[in-house]
């Protein structure tokens, strides 16, 4: 079998990564239809040893599409995802538009692929990049010893904010202003996301609360998140502390993680071996290291988790959903 695949937002950083992932994983593409805004129509993109021409998003361009993968932001997704679904496509959306919708499953294939089979609106939501790598790392533990509380601090790469933000960081490193970042990130840390009405939590942080509960199917899990932007181009890092229903030792946790799909252990801290964003960039696994007992809460587990936010945190996860449903 082969499929007609549309990628909406194909000219963006994640969209280009989606084309790369489709090619590298040899997804059976009969025809690739790259879609974007009118200003990008006519551009060409490399794919499968040749080039494909970008078309403007329109209803007619979803005719006969089997899978439509969206990475064009919430506004375009709300407008065009239902249209693509009505045309018969399986829609996999990378924006935040559908994540809270009870009729749209929120899916990480290693954790809850079966949820993708029940999609009343024809739309499957891709979680936030930080949530994806975290749930891949904690789900193997949660399945055998339910998690009561997660304390997580994220150290997020600037590529998650798009190409203009990456260029702005490089400008700042050279002594320029890099105004697209809204502050000085080179040699510094920022917390520039949408602040919620209470002024305490940011949207980026609350995504981790709501999305983790939905994916794991447990609204009782308490999540205490802090999101930080760091001067790294690609690769999100997370410091995670788990409070569990029953005490767990490190050997048990490590044994569960080393058998789990999508995870690669990099865990020999006494010899200076642990995951880094540089190692993760351009690769597919969720890397886990520094697995240790929580000294402040004996029986709890702490870990350090790193993954490429453009791949597993976005493009790869979406393609894996399509693979899981169709192949």
Beta strands in 104-245 (DSSP E): 123-125, 147-156, 222-229, 236-244
Q: Which of 104, 129, 142, 192 is catalytic?
A: 129
> Exactly one of 104, 192, 210, 236 is catalytic; which is it?
236
Q: Cα–Cα distances in Å, from 2 out to 5, 10, 28, 326? A: 9, 20, 5, 10
R_g (Cα) of the chain, nearest Å: 20
Burial state string for 207-220 with b = 16 or more CB within 10 A and e = fewer than 16? bbbbbbbbbbeeee
Residue with tokens 């009343």: 120
Q: What is the dihedral of CA 10, 14, 19, 25, to 10 degrees?
A: -160
- Clarify whether 129 is annotated catalytic: yes
Say whether 192 is catalytic.
no
Please classify residue 287 by burial: count the beta carbons closer than 10 Å to its beta carbon, then call 0-12 exposed, 13-18 middle and 19+ buried: buried
Catalytic residues: 129, 236
């Amino acid at each position: 079998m082969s499929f007609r695949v549309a990628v909406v937002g194909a000219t963006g950083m994640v969209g280009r990564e989606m084309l790369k992932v489709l090619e590298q994983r040899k997804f059976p593409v009969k025809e690739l239809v790259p879609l974007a805004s009118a200003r990008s129509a006519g551009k060409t993109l490399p794919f499968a040893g040749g080039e494909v021409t970008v078309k403007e998003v329109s209803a007619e361009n979803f005719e006969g599409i089997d899978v439509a993968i969206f990475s064009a932001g919430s506004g375009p997704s709300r407008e065009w995802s239902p249209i693509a679904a009505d045309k018969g496509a399986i829609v996999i959306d990378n924006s935040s538009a559908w994540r809270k919708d009870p009729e749209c499953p929120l899916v990480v294939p290693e954790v809850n692929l079966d949820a993708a089979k029940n999609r009343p609106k024809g739309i499957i939501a891709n979680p936030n990049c930080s949530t994806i790598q975290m749930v891949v790392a904690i789900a193997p533990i949660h399945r055998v010893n339910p998690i009561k509380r997660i304390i997580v601090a994220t150290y997020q790469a600037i590529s998650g904010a798009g190409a203009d933000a990456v260029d702005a960081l490089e400008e700042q490193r050279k002594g320029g202003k890099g105004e697209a970042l809204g502050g000085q990130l080179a040699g510094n840390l920022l917390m520039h996301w949408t602040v919620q009405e209470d002024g305490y939590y940011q949207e980026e942080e609350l995504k981790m609360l709501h999305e983790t509960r939905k994916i794991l199917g447990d609204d009782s899990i308490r999540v205490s998140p802090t999101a930080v932007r760091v001067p790294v181009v690609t690769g999100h890092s997370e410091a995670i502390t788990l409070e569990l229903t029953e005490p767990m030792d490190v050997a048990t946790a490590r044994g569960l993680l080393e058998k789990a799909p999508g995870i690669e252990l990099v865990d020999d801290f006494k010899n200076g071996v642990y995951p880094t964003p540089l190692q993760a960039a351009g690769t597919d696994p969720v890397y886990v290291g520094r697995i240790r007992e929580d000294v402040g809460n004996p029986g709890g587990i702490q870990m350090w988790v790193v993954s490429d936010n453009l791949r597993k945190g976005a493009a790869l996860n979406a393609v894996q959903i399509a693979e899981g449903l169709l192949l």
